[in-house]
Amino acid sequence: MKHLFDIFGKRGSGSSDAVTCAPSVDGLVQQLGENDGVTRERARRSLVTLGTSAVEPLLMALKSKKSRVRYEAAMCLRDLSDRRAIDGLVEALADRTFEVRWVAAEALITIGRAVVPAVLRALMEDSDSTWLRDGCRHVLSHFAGLDLRAAYHIEHHPAWVDFDLRDVLSPVITALEQPGAASRVPVVAVKALEFFPAYPTPRLDKPVMPH
């Protein structure tokens, strides 16, 4: 997995000493699309340091036409681990770029158990998307404790897992792995959702308008 993000993670040839961070959140988000890897890395770190004030602009960046920007935005949201990003990250599980889908899944796992209802609802609403189903399986497998022996899991995730979710989520994961998943999954997702209290996924306080 260490070469997974080589295309997005390459550093530019310029000197890192010449790199300066933009003075505003919007400027930092724009720098996520720079060709120079050092610039992108410093912008990403600065956005994460800003904390909650960066969440809304990053969710907007997650819809950028540029895959590099979407990838970097997902990386920031992974490090911020803010529940307000759940809906946007679940949507990104269907991104056309694999690296973006993978980081979105990792970001959801980092946020924790609270993401599971949103993932199940996505399967109920958009089970025709192969990319979304694969991303949801990635996330749900973690919380069901089904990837504990996977080398990547051991290296990147804590040893604990919500074992009480194993029985709830295992039927969903099984359906995701079988033929006819598009029609099977919504049915079992509805059943699994009954395990969770009825509360809305946290949303942003106000809509984000494109610049």
> Which tens digit of pLDDT belongs to each residue from 151-161?
566 566 665 55
Token output for 82 = 């803010």
With contact defined as beta carbons under 8 Å apart, do 202 and 84 qualify?
A: yes
Which residues constitute the domain of residue 136?
Answer: 113-196
> For residue 162, how many other CB atoms are within 10 A of its CB?
15
Q: In the predicted model, is pLDDT for residue 122 greater than 90?
A: yes
In a domain, 38, yes or no: no
> For residue 145, how many other CB atoms are within 10 A of its CB?
17
What is residue 2's predicted lDDT score, i.e. its pLDDT? 45
What is residue 84's predicted lDDT score, i.e. its pLDDT? 96
Q: In the predicted model, is pLDDT for residue 94 greater than 50?
A: yes
Q: What's the mean pLDDT in 189-193?
A: 93
**How many domains in the chain?**
1
What is residue 153's predicted lDDT score, i.e. its pLDDT? 60
Distance CA 169, CA 21 (A): 43
In a domain, 170, yes or no: yes
pLDDT tens, residue by residue, 18-46: 456 767 888 899 999 999 999 999 999 99
Q: Is 51 left (phi over 0), alpha (psi -120 to 50) or beta?
A: left
In a domain, 77, yes or no: no
In a domain, 72, yes or no: no
What is residue 185's predicted lDDT score, i.e. its pLDDT? 95
Long-range contacts made by residues 60-66, C-beta under 8 angstroms, separation at least 24?
A: 60/29, 60/208, 60/210, 60/211, 61/29, 61/32, 62/88, 62/89, 62/91, 62/92, 63/88, 64/33, 66/33
With contact defined as beta carbons under 8 Å apart, do 80 and 55 qualify?
A: yes
Q: What's the mean pLDDT in 40-66?
A: 94
What is residue 166's predicted lDDT score, i.e. its pLDDT? 85
In a domain, 172, yes or no: yes
Burial class (CB in 10 A: 0-12, 13-18, 19+), 55: buried
In a domain, 204, yes or no: no
Q: In the predicted model, is pLDDT for residue 177 greater than 70?
A: yes
Range in 5-14, 21-30, 105-114, 124-133 with the lowest mean pLDDT: 5-14
In a domain, 188, yes or no: yes
In a domain, 6, yes or no: no
What is residue 151's predicted lDDT score, i.e. its pLDDT? 59
